[in-house]
Structure 1
Amino acid sequence: RLGELASLSYGLAMTVVAMKTVTPEPAESGALVARLETLSNAIERLPRVIPPRGKGEASAAPPPCDLQDQIAALTSQMEDVVAGGPIERREKAPEQAEKGEVKKKKGGFFVSGAFSDPAYSRFALKGTAAVMISYLTYTLLDWPGIHTAMLTCFIVSLTTVGETVQKLFLRIAGCLVGALLGIVSIVFILPDTTSITSLVVLVGLVTLPAAWIAVGKPTVSYIGFQIAFALYLCILQGAEPGFDLVVARDRVIGILFGDLVVYLIFTRIFPVSTLTQLRLDLDKLIRQCRDVVKTKAAFDPAAGAIQEAGRAYATLETASANLAAYGYETFHSGNRRLRAQANKLAIKALRGFVNALAVVAAFPPPQGDAEKSEALRQLLLHAEMNLQTLAFSLAAPFDVSSGALVDSMPPALSPDDEPSPQISALEALMARLNNVKMTLFHYRRLLHTEAGAYE
């Protein structure tokens, strides 16, 4: 029941956002607001066991005609789930399908292609080489204090150059801040520490800002973990407070040495660019957006399109993280500032398009006027065709002489017809799509003229 309520509440939230987007001042709906508040209180006190209600007790509601009707319908469904009504069992949408046939993934300890894909063996060899170099270095030098170099190799070794360099920079930044706090604590605070209470207070006060950073944006959250880790390595040297600054020095040197070893190996031996995964993410995002538009063009219920839009949001976040990691591959480029600006503009354009697509996805299927329904279908098919064109342009080799694929405006209604909110939402979607096309065109041109070292 909680899973069903989560799905329905997601659709309800997207419908409310769509209504506020197309209708800044919606009609008075005080009764609906009261129902939602009552429903919220009921869900908060939802018991573990709910007596199931008979199937005949649920009344069939008419299909929604607009966004407000859809909000009322979703509210009724959630109320029915809370009251113990029967839950419709849905088949999970397949993540991968080819020519209409669903490929079932076989579970197992190893990923698919673990022994056939050379990328996995290369990664294993690079990781092993980094660890062995670190281990042999502090063993031959008889310097066990820098054993953190070996731990560092396990932590910062990631699949692509961009991800590895990003994690490496975050670890260095957090290490230096944590080591500084640790040394200050050893010199000025620990000598006056006379009880476990004082030590707990010290650890808590320094852990608090580190934890605050750790739950922040994924691009910087690891700094918080590393600050706390470096601090603990410095001040927790044994069963009692330690005052030896050599321990703090050696452990910091070990972290920096491990970062250096990983950087040299992963950027020089079989480097793997984040750009490859980024291209796959963009292709997946466009396919998911096409699925949303095709679902709307078939006039299916809005629930399916809303679920597809949710998957598009998740893919967009993954692409955003990969794009941020790709920026670390090009920090040595003379055009890095222009690249960073292009990254921001590309993500901003894609996010605006997915937001506009979610508004379109939230609309219920049209009812009544066949002429306007057909005009709406043509607009949706036009958008789907343009998404397909965009996918082909990204997959094809770049041609500087080609245009930016700016689309003409979609077929409009006659001047006497007043566009419906759904038509207006579709026109905004097409404007966002043209913005995405132009942004990605200029970004690809930048990649073509300033190819990265690891592309």
Structure 2
Amino acid sequence: MKSVVDNSWLSLLAPFPGRAAMAWRIALVCALTAMVAMIYGIPESAISCYLVFFVMKPDAAESSLLAVALSVLVAIVVVVLFVLTNLTLDLPPMRIVTLALSSLLLLFLASASKLGPLGGIIALVLAFAMTLLGYVPFGEAATRGILYAWLMASMPMALVLIVSLTVGRRPLDLLRGTLRDRLDAIARYLESGGRAERARLRDMMGEGQEESMKRWGLLRGLALARRDETRRLGVALQESYRMVFAALAMREGGQPQQRAGLAARTREVGQALSAGRPAPAVMVPDTDSPAAEQAWRALSAMAGGPDVAPAAQPAEPFLSPDAWRNPEHVRYAVKTTAAALICYLIYSALDWQDIHTAMITCYVAALGSVAQTTQKLMLRIIGCLIGAAMGVGAILFLIPHMSSVGSLMLLVFAGSFVAAWVAVGSERVAYAGVQIALAFLMTVLQGFGPSIDMSVALDRVIGILLGNVVLYVVFTQLWPVSVGHRVRGDLGLALQGLARMARLGEGGRDKAVAEASVVAGRLAGVRSALGLTALEPRGLRLDSERLRELVAVTQSVQALCMRLLIEPPVSDPALAARLETLARVVTNDERANARRPPVARSAPERVGSIEHLSQLIEGR
């Protein structure tokens, strides 16, 4: 058993296409950031380097846009800071109130809008700058500090932009690679039908189309490729994702010659499209299998002319649909802000400024459910200890022999590469990689050159650990959110997506792929969340019966999604209405059960509850 566990964890650190490229680019930007900060005397270079981990993406275009967006938002924050400084410099209580209100607003937007992680980053920069106002004696120093805070955030963004535009990976190359890998996985499964190949296809289905279609939208919007190839790639991405569903719906055995022929043509089309060439025409043979027919039709569409653009992903507004109805967004902002203020008050009361990393940790380590927070706590503590060990080792054995900024750049590059290698991997280890980066950078980047001050390094590590502990206590004691609550919300949204698919007729064949992608992504998140239930305290943890029911519902929703995508598209308003009703049942089940004791639930009431969703869905 131990070797199996060890191999499983080691597999999460194994190389995959693009991992090394992403890691060395992040490390390069961090090294350049450290160099610029050392030369021009920009303080807190560790935070500047740390921001790179949130903005740097595999796609050069997306990284560039995020860097520009963050720079603009930070510039707005700087203007706000100038105003707030005049109002709060001589009034510490007002400064705390202002910090809390701005943090609440930005964290609410981070949870309830498409601003996402950028909201947390801006909240971090603003809160950190506001806390520093307590250490400046007069207005001119405060103004200078605010400008340094602006440089601290905007300088690494400029370097991200430069590196992305010079040595970044083009969206076209990434999309070609995605298409090649997807079609190769489909062909392998059609040829062997093995468990490993089927698991790979299921992973691809769960990954969805959102990232690929976002990348394709940048490719088209910025005119980064020829128009004909852009359209051809868009159609191929859409149809290849449909083929993933179709291949999984085809049972092992049965017409092996047809499967082999489909696999051969899939490889042929994939090789042509990934090389930037039009694929040869594909004729759709007669078959009695709806899944096989859909696969052949998808392959034929990929080999067609570039005169038809793919269907767009379902449009999402800036604010989430439940932004004003779901109290979890406000509670998330309140809990994170409370944890950050507690840490601020602790190190202010102790007059121990070097553990200010506690407050920084609160803004970058918060998650929704108790299980997620617990998992992240373990990963971050492990990552913190690894990063601290790397930093302390460097202070003891390497930095005493360094006398230039160039040597420090090499050290930052090496440590950031290790952290980035972990951070760009699976979610099961990514948070550890981010924490390795924070602990390592905070340890080795002190002042404006190589430093061997061990006390500052240890204080910063203590601050990181303190922040993680405070965050864990706040998130598990104040409005704790169970995995079951999050799962029901995602299942409800998935059922609403199925309802929209059920209303689509013949003209909605392409839109069905976009909806199926969103549904599959939500179900992948549900399965991941259900795997964390053991980390919850007994008072919140799902019992075994309820857990089995949720797993069964997830499987039924996945099966219906596949069926709606594979079968000939026919509008079914009755099924759509039933799915919308089930979505409301799933979402409100926990709330209804909390209002009444279990003994008050009669048999007819249980028929409408979550236990029978599988039977209702399958009884289409």
TM-score class, shorter-chain normalisation, is: 0.5 to 0.7
Whether 1:18 aligns to 2:249 is yes
Is the deviation greater in 117-126 or in 384-393?
384-393
What SS is found at the alignment partner of 1:238? coil
Whether 1:213 aligns to 2:444 is no
Q: Which residue in 1 is equivalent to 2:365? A: 156
Distance 1:189 1:346, change over 3 A: farther
What SS is found at the alignment partner of 1:312? helix
Q: Which residue in 2 is equivalent to 1:141? A: 350
CA distance in 1, matches of 2:366, 2:606: 41
Distance 1:305 1:134, change over 3 A: closer
2:522 to 315, 324, 329: 315
Distance 1:31 1:254, change over 3 A: closer
Deviation at 1:197, TM superposition (A): 6.9
Letter matched to residue 247 of structure 2? V
2:471 to 252, 262, 273: 262
Deviation at 1:304, TM superposition (A): 5.6
CA contact (8 A) 2:403 2:450 kept: no
Whether 1:87 aligns to 2:308 is yes
Deviation at 1:316, TM superposition (A): 0.8
What SS is found at the alignment partner of 2:447? coil
Deviation at 1:132, TM superposition (A): 3.1
Distance 1:326 1:352, change over 3 A: closer
CA distance in 1, matches of 2:583, 2:478: 34
Whether 1:40 aligns to 2:270 is yes
1:235 to 444, 453, 478: 444
Letter matched to residue 516 of structure 2? A
Distance 1:23 1:215, change over 3 A: same
Letter matched to residue 365 of structure 1? P
Q: How does 1:51-130 map to 2 (within 5 A)?
A: 66=289, 67-81=291-305, 84=306, 86-87=307-308, 90=311, 105=317, 107=318, 123-130=332-339
1:73-94 deviation line (CA, Å, top 9, x unaligned): 222211113xx3x216757657
Give the total of aligned pairs.
Answer: 373
Q: Which residue in 1 is equivalent to 2:399? A: 190
CA distance in 2, matches of 1:335, 1:300: 45
Whether 1:360 aligns to 2:563 is yes
CA contact (8 A) 1:134 1:258 kept: yes
What SS is found at the alignment partner of 2:400? helix
Letter matched to residue 27 of structure 1? Q
CA distance in 2, matches of 1:264, 1:391: 32
CA contact (8 A) 1:295 1:304 kept: no
Is the deviation greater in 396-405 or in 345-354?
396-405
Distance 1:334 1:394, change over 3 A: closer
CA contact (8 A) 2:499 2:579 kept: no
Q: How does 1:357-436 map to 2 (within 5 A)?
A: 357=560, 359-361=562-564, 363-365=566-568, 392=585, 395=588, 397=592, 399=598, 433=614
Distance 1:114 1:280, change over 3 A: closer
Higher fraction of helix:
2
Deviation at 1:276, TM superposition (A): 2.9
CA distance in 1, matches of 2:300, 2:455: 67
Whether 1:175 aligns to 2:384 is yes
Deviation at 1:146, TM superposition (A): 0.7
What SS is found at the alignment partner of 1:75? helix
What SS is found at the alignment partner of 1:80? coil
CA distance in 2, matches of 1:303, 1:63: 22
Q: Taking every aligned residue pair, what percent have the same amino acid on both sides?
A: 32
Q: Which residue in 2 is equivalent to 1:429? A: none
Distance 1:64 1:307, change over 3 A: farther
Letter matched to residue 87 of structure 1? V
CA contact (8 A) 1:300 1:365 kept: no
Distance 1:16 1:266, change over 3 A: closer
CA contact (8 A) 1:320 1:347 kept: no
Deviation at 1:151, TM superposition (A): 0.8
CA contact (8 A) 2:523 2:558 kept: no
Q: Which residue in 2 is equivalent to 1:419? A: none
What SS is found at the alignment partner of 2:446? coil
CA contact (8 A) 1:64 1:364 kept: no
Distance 1:46 1:146, change over 3 A: same
Gaps of 5+ in 2: 1-230, 608-612
CA distance in 1, matches of 2:268, 2:523: 34
Deviation at 1:239, TM superposition (A): 3.3
CA distance in 2, matches of 1:395, 1:121: 19
What SS is found at the alignment partner of 2:241? helix
CA distance in 1, matches of 2:267, 2:404: 50
CA distance in 2, matches of 1:174, 1:73: 48
Instruction: Output the TM-score relative to the length of structure 1.
Output: 0.63
Larger radius of gyration: 1
